[in-house]
Amino acid sequence: MLSEQQIAESVFWACKQEVRAPKPGNVNCFSDGHNMAVDDFIRSARAIAPVMARPGLTVGERILGAIGATRQVVDCNTNLGIVLLFAPLCCAAEDCESFADLADSLKNVLQNLTVEDARLTYQAIRMAEAGGLGEHQEQDISGEPTVTLLEAMQMAAERDQIALQYVSNFNTLWQIGLPGLTSALNSGESVEWAAAFAYLKLLSEVPDSLICRKQSREQAIAVTEKAKQLVFEMNKNSTLNAYLDQLTAWDKELKQNAINPGTTADLVATTLLLHAFQRRLSADRISVP
């Protein structure tokens, strides 16, 4: 079973590795972007780690507490998607004896979400001042929810990948994200490059919902096709960093056009958290500076 310290260290580690990965279109170790810098994400990670790890908090309490802590250290939305995804996983991890227990524990957490979880989450989303959410007649984020958080996510699942993870027990990460990360790590890649590969793998399979909302579905599909091409080429090469120039050029192009596959980055951060929990629950050690 994971301790409070282990969960906190895993949260910080996952966030740090995600922002260090050379992910085109996102803030990364090679390039800031979208009016945000790497240090914004590192400070945000330090802020949310102890909240996410605090024993006994509900999912809604973790989400609201983490966004409140984030707003104390940065004046921008660095991590709403990450917080929404991390909160149920951290709740689930508290009760796991092994990594094999995590999927069932997560399912139990999601199925027992309450209207109060939804109310606190709505408050957190408004606090984060997230852009590109749009307005919806039913259970809109500007009002007070009358359904559970899971029911609210079910209403949004067709248009939002984070909501879809709640509905599917994080199936995208179990089926695409974690296998992609693991295969790259097993091939000898660094965590940062393995995370970049998992990012491209996710992006190649599912159009980014943030791009869909902020630009168009057609633009999101164009980004997915580019990622698909890169993944195909990378699978034929022995080292991923051979594609640094290509990724850097695409990163510049995306940022010049204000295109941010931000939801995919959130999925990668959560994939890294799954990997951290897997290693912790397997009694391996993660070194967190």
Q: Which domain holds residue 79?
A: 4-281
Task: Please give the tally of structural domains in the chain.
Answer: 1
What is the C-alpha end-to-end distance of the chain, expressed in Å? Answer: 23
Sign of the torsion formed by the C-alpha atoms of 125, 261, 29 and 277: positive
What tokens appear for 168 in the block?
A: 């599917």
The Cα 107–Cα 256 span in angstroms is 40
Domain of 261, CATH number, reads 1.10.4200.10
pLDDT in tens, the chain (289 residues): 899 999 999 999 999 999 999 999 988 777 765 667 889 999 999 999 999 999 999 999 999 999 999 999 999 899 999 999 999 999 999 989 999 999 999 999 999 999 999 999 999 999 997 644 444 445 567 788 999 999 999 999 999 999 999 999 999 999 999 999 999 999 999 999 999 999 999 999 999 999 999 999 999 999 999 999 999 999 887 688 889 999 999 999 999 999 999 999 999 999 999 999 999 998 644 444 3
Output the CA angle 254-252-43, nearest 5 degrees: 90
Length of the chain: 289
Q: Specify if 225 maps to a domain.
A: yes
Return the structure tokens found at 21: 């990965």
Q: Let me know if residue 9 belongs to a domain.
A: yes
